[in-house]
Chain A
Amino acid sequence: MSNVTPMPAREPEDSGSQFIHKMEAIAEKNPLEGVNFDDLEISLYRPRTALSLMLTWIVTAMTLAALIPLFAVLWMLIWRGGKKLSLALLTQLPPAPLEQGGGFGNAILGTVIMVAIATLITVPLGVLTGVFLAQAPTNSRLAGAVRFSSKVLTGFPSILAGVFAYGAIVLATGGYSAIAGAIALSILMLPTIILTSESAISMVPARMKEASIGMGATGAQTVWMVLLPTAAPGILTGVMLAIARAAGETAPLLFTALFSNYWLASGGHFNVMQPTASLAVLIYNFSGMPFKNQVELAWAAALVLVVLVLITNLIGQSFSRQQVQQ
């Protein structure tokens, strides 16, 4: 860059217009005269270009390194879990140690039942709280506190939900049960449902709400007939995400629902107040066993669990796409 025409020095006696004339004189000649274009080209001999390219390669390599284990998990699941998968696996009871065959039908049923109970508890509670948050004035102290505590609850350790349900339900009712497991799961589902339904409801255009009130609807009618139906796809996304999370949780079930080798209705009648099997706890228990059959069952159960969780997630995402299109 050394042979570029130097800028004229501004001498003290120059007036402003004289200086501008000097500049114009240079500009009329040829503004690019003396610029060495080779200097401007991207060249690896220049440290800043080389550094830029190097960092690009480093970031690419690091991303690939991060993605390999993530996808290796899925690959191992399909490979080791898929080998064993069969219809019998999904319908039979878990085998005793050293016994061959068996399945985890009761664990699938137990997971479904506990998640269903937890959903029944959390959906009304969470959606109505979401309605409250979306309707509350922006400076409301209570709304701020509720929003903050649900954000903090999002990161609540799942094992502590189990500890809570153990203290509050298991000790009180005197035994491990599906209900205690469901309540522990519902603590983990609640914040997701509250936060997603709040954002879904506050995305409903204000004119719809105003039109409804203008036509003489009461507040409750507006909520039931206008806000909730319009926000339904967004709320359902949140519910599906919460269900997907709850289905995979192990820690809160370890000492609330415990585990069982039998069907829930094995005593002749259906009873939710007894220890209940779940897929996640089955994976944990069987992975620690020294028997090959059990370990293989754990892999197959992990594959089934991941497929269930991912399908629930994808359904949830398809709901949110509907909302965007509206």
Chain B
Amino acid sequence: MTFFFAGFTILLMALLVVEIGVKAIPAFREYGLHFLWGRVWDPNKDVFGILPEIWGTLYTSLLALFFGTIFGVAAALFLSEGYLGEAVFRMLKLVNLHFHPFWGKLPQRTEALLKNMIELLAAVPSVVYGLWGLFVVIPLIRPYCNWLHDRMGWFPLFSTDLSGPGIFPAVFVLAIMILPTITAISRDALVSVPPKLRMAAYGLGATRWETILGVLLPTASRGIFGGIVLAFGRALGETMALAMLVGNANRLTVSLFSPADTLAALLANNFPEAGAKEIPVLMYAALVLLAITLVVNIFGAVVLERAAGKATAK
């Protein structure tokens, strides 16, 4: 009997793809592949193209992934190498409490607490991050961004000024949102490196960072990479924070301070008021988003599975 329920999951996935696909057929017939590189979105003239949205989706996600990865992996190293515990231990040693029955446990406790808190932060809803970005981040970074634009406006990345929502605040908040995911998965991968490898590296006289860069990171690289790909999938499909922060302007731009649009934000903003004509077009855009995220997610799942298989084979 459980057989039937298990089949349901596969059925559900097929149903998701088919449902969105079938509803998109009228738009596909009418606009064909030209839809993918059209630059104009004008419901009044029935002209639709989503090139700026595809570009915006990939541009914001990749930038956020770049920053999220650097800081996320650094935080994972910090948490897995016991730096915090060491610092707390040293402080306890100053007041001579490092073997006290209660205070002596503090180093491990602070590490576990920080790890749990970072994992909890992954559970904060994206609309809350969006709210924070809208009312805290944008007013905070605006003077600095406009200063950059005034001084270095010739540089394509800074070619417009930040008048409110834009790509940079969106990337900033998105990077913060995917950071806990990357940190949690990378930390798991680093902790599950067999201790004998670390001991062997220390035994050969490697310093701590020679061990980290030469042994630990390469060994954990598959797990970390799988985590990065999953975070990329999350960034691509992220809707609310981007719909609130990216500015929803149908613009094809590399400037960090210009408003732009993403596929998910396009859906979120246009679906509630869409007419009968616009809905197949939006379904088509949803299908494009589905295709991009499915490819990324399947790739990530395969990489993580391989990494797990390799770890158990050892």
A positions within 8 Å CB-CB of B: 48-49, 51-52, 55-56, 58-60, 62-63, 65-67, 69-70, 72-74, 76-77, 80, 125, 128-129, 131-133, 135-136, 142-143, 145-146, 148-164, 166-168, 187, 190-191, 194, 220, 241, 244-245, 247-251, 254-255, 258, 280, 283-284, 287-288, 295, 298-299, 302, 305-306, 309-310, 313-314, 317
- A residues in contact with B237, CB < 8 Å: 155-160
Docked-complex contact B125 and A306, CB < 8 angstroms: yes
Asked whether B167 is an interface residue with its Cβ less than 8 Å from the other chain, the reply is no
Docked-complex contact A255 and B264, CB < 8 angstroms: no
Measured CA separation A313–B77 after assembly (Å): 25
Question: From B76, which residue of chain A is reached at the shortest CB distance?
Answer: A63
Sorted nearest first, the 10 A-B pairs with minimum C-beta distance are: A157-B237, A248-B125, A132-B2, A251-B239, A62-B74, A155-B297, A63-B78, A132-B6, A66-B71, A155-B233
Docked-complex contact A70 and B121, CB < 8 angstroms: yes
- B residues in contact with A74, CB < 8 Å: 121, 124
- A residues in contact with B184, CB < 8 Å: none
- A residues in contact with B290, CB < 8 Å: 157, 160
Asked whether B47 is an interface residue with its Cβ less than 8 Å from the other chain, the reply is no
CB<8 Å pairs between A and B, sample of 24: A49-B207, A59-B78, A62-B70, A66-B71, A70-B180, A73-B121, A146-B6, A146-B10, A150-B9, A152-B13, A156-B16, A159-B267, A163-B271, A244-B123, A251-B268, A284-B240, A284-B243, A284-B244, A287-B134, A287-B135, A299-B135, A306-B128, A310-B120, A310-B124
Asked whether B146 is an interface residue with its Cβ less than 8 Å from the other chain, the reply is no
Interface of A is mostly: helix
- B residues in contact with A194, CB < 8 Å: 9
Asked whether B293 is an interface residue with its Cβ less than 8 Å from the other chain, the reply is yes
- A residues in contact with B116, CB < 8 Å: 317
B205-243, CB under 8 A of A: which get 1 and which 0?
Answer: 001111010000000000000000010011011111001
Docked-complex contact A59 and B83, CB < 8 angstroms: yes
Q: Given B12, B83, B268, B283, which contacts A187 in the complex, CB threshold below 8 Å?
A: B12
Q: Which of B75-129 touch A at CB < 8 Å?
A: 75, 77-79, 83, 116, 118, 120-121, 123-129
B263-287, CB under 8 A of A: which get 1 and which 0?
Answer: 0100110011000000000110010
Number of B residues whose C-beta is below 8 Å from A? Answer: 78
Q: Given B6, B23, B176, B212, which contacts A167 in the complex, CB threshold below 8 Å?
A: B23
Interface of B is mostly: helix
Docked-complex contact B236 and A255, CB < 8 angstroms: no
Measured CA separation A62–B19 after assembly (Å): 44
B172 to chain A minimum Cβ distance, whole angstroms, is 8
Asked whether B203 is an interface residue with its Cβ less than 8 Å from the other chain, the reply is no
Measured CA separation A166–B77 after assembly (Å): 43
Given contacts A168-B19, A251-B239, A309 and B78 within 8 Å (CB-CB): no
Docked-complex contact A163 and B20, CB < 8 angstroms: yes
Docked-complex contact B264 and A157, CB < 8 angstroms: yes
Given contacts A59-B74, A76-B132, A190-B9, A151 and B124 within 8 Å (CB-CB): no
Docked-complex contact A70 and B179, CB < 8 angstroms: yes
Docked-complex contact B125 and A249, CB < 8 angstroms: yes
